[in-house]
Structure 1
Amino acid sequence: MTRYEPWRGLALWGQEEETAALEVLRSRSLFRYYGPELLHRTDSFERELAELLEVPHTVAVSSGTAALACALIGLGIPEGAEVIMPAVTFVACANAVVWARGVPVFAEVDDTLTLDPVALAEKVSDRTWGVLPVHLNNAAADLDPILAVARRHDLVVLEDAAQAAGVRYRGRRAGSLGDAGAFSFQLEKNITAGEGGAVSVRDPLAHQRIVRYQDQGGQFTTARGESRAQAAEPFLGVNLRMTELTAALLRVQLGRLDPMLAHLRSVAAEVRAALPELHWRRLPDEEGSGGDLTFFLGSRLEARDRVAALTADGIPAHTLYQGQPVYSSPAIRAGRTPWGTRWGTPARCRDSEGLLGRSVTISLGATMTAADVRAVITALRG
Structure 2
Amino acid sequence: MPVAGERPEPFYEPTRGLALWDSTEVDAAVEVLRSRSLFRYYGPELLHRTDEFERRFAEHLEVPHAIAVSSGTAAITTALIGLGIPAGAEVIIPAVTFVGCVNAVVQARGIPVFADIDDTLTLDPTSVEERITDRTFAIMPVHLANVAADLDPLLEVARRRGVKVLEDAAQAAGVRYRGRRVGAIGDAGAFSFQLEKNITAGEGGTVTALDPEVADRARRYQDQGGQFTTSRGQERGGVADAPFVGANLRMTELAAALLTVQLSRLDPMLDRLRAVAAHVRSELADLGLTWRRMPDEAGSGGDLTLLTAGRMEARALVGALAAESVPAGTLYQGQGVYANPAVKAGRTPWGLEWPPPARLRASEQIAGRAVTVSLGAAMTDQDVDRLVAAIRKAHANSGTAR
Q: Which stretch of the first structure deviates more once superposed, 163-172 or 233-242? A: 233-242
Within 1, Cα distance between the matches of 2:350 and 2:367? 31
Aligned twin of 2:397: none
Aligned twin of 1:299: 310
Within 2, Cα distance between the matches of 1:236 and 1:69? 14
User: Which of 54, 58, 81 lines up with 2:62 in the alignment?
Assistant: 54
User: Which of 87, 92, 105 lines up with 1:97 in the alignment?
Assistant: 105
Q: Tell me which amino acid in the other structure corresponds to 2:76.
A: L
Whether 1:238 aligns to 2:247 is yes
User: Which of 244, 251, 267 lines up with 1:258 in the alignment?
Assistant: 267
Whether 1:16 aligns to 2:27 is no
Unpaired runs of 5+ residues, structure 2, are: 1-8, 394-402
Aligned twin of 1:39: 47
Q: CA deviation at 1:87?
A: 0.8
Within 2, Cα distance between the matches of 1:226 and 1:73? 24
Aligned twin of 2:4: none
Cα distance per residue 1:221-280 (max 9 Å; x no partner)? 9xxx95573323221111000000000000000000000000000000011112231110
Cα distance per residue 1:152-203 (max 9 Å; x no partner)? 1011000000000000110111100000000000000000000000000111
1:175-324 equivalences under 5 Å are 175-219=183-227, 229-232=236-239, 233-276=242-285, 277-324=288-335
Aligned twin of 2:340: 329
Is the 1:158–1:181 contact (alpha carbons within 8 Å) kept by the matching residues of 2? yes
* Equivalent residues, number: 379
Whether 1:119 aligns to 2:127 is yes
Aligned twin of 1:365: 376
Q: Tell me which amino acid in the other structure corresponds to 1:279.
A: T
Within 2, Cα distance between the matches of 1:234 and 1:280? 50
Is the 1:213–1:238 contact (alpha carbons within 8 Å) kept by the matching residues of 2? yes
Q: Tell me which amino acid in the other structure corresponds to 1:218.
A: G
> Tell me, what secondary structure is at the counterpart of 2:29?
helix
Aligned twin of 1:344: 355
Unpaired runs of 5+ residues, structure 1, are: none
Q: Tell me which amino acid in the other structure corresponds to 1:101.
A: R
What is the percentage of aligned positions where both structures have the same residue? 67
1:62-77 equivalences under 5 Å are 62-77=70-85
Within 2, Cα distance between the matches of 1:127 and 1:29? 44
Within 1, Cα distance between the matches of 2:373 and 2:41? 42
Within 1, Cα distance between the matches of 2:389 and 2:157? 42
Is the 2:184–2:208 contact (alpha carbons within 8 Å) kept by the matching residues of 1? yes
Is the 2:40–2:251 contact (alpha carbons within 8 Å) kept by the matching residues of 1? yes
Q: CA deviation at 1:129?
A: 1.0
Within 2, Cα distance between the matches of 1:106 and 1:8? 29
Within 1, Cα distance between the matches of 2:291 and 2:307? 6
Q: CA deviation at 1:62?
A: 0.2
> Tell me, what secondary structure is at the counterpart of 1:55?
coil
Q: Tell me which amino acid in the other structure corresponds to 1:140.
A: A
Within 2, Cα distance between the matches of 1:226 and 1:362? 53
Change (3 A) 1:122 1:36: same
Q: CA RMSD in A?
A: 1.3
Within 1, Cα distance between the matches of 2:295 and 2:226? 41
Change (3 A) 1:243 1:220: closer
Within 1, Cα distance between the matches of 2:346 and 2:227? 34
Is the 1:219–1:234 contact (alpha carbons within 8 Å) kept by the matching residues of 2? no
> Tell me, what secondary structure is at the counterpart of 1:279?
coil
Cα distance per residue 1:267-304 (max 9 Å; x no partner)? 00011112231110000101010000111111211111
Within 1, Cα distance between the matches of 2:96 and 2:300? 18
> Tell me, what secondary structure is at the counterpart of 2:371?
strand
Change (3 A) 1:127 1:371: same
User: Which of 162, 170, 173 lines up with 1:162 in the alignment?
Assistant: 170
Cα distance per residue 1:60-113 (max 9 Å; x no partner)? 000000000000011000111111011111011111111111100000001000
Cα distance per residue 1:309-366 (max 9 Å; x no partner)? 1011011111121111111111111111111111111121111100100111100000
Within 2, Cα distance between the matches of 1:95 and 1:152? 28
Within 2, Cα distance between the matches of 1:257 and 1:227? 41
Whether 1:354 aligns to 2:365 is yes
User: Which of 7, 13, 17 lines up with 2:15 in the alignment?
Assistant: 7
> Tell me, what secondary structure is at the counterpart of 1:72?
helix
Is the 1:220–1:227 contact (alpha carbons within 8 Å) kept by the matching residues of 2? no
Q: CA deviation at 1:220?
A: 7.8
Q: CA deviation at 1:376?
A: 1.7
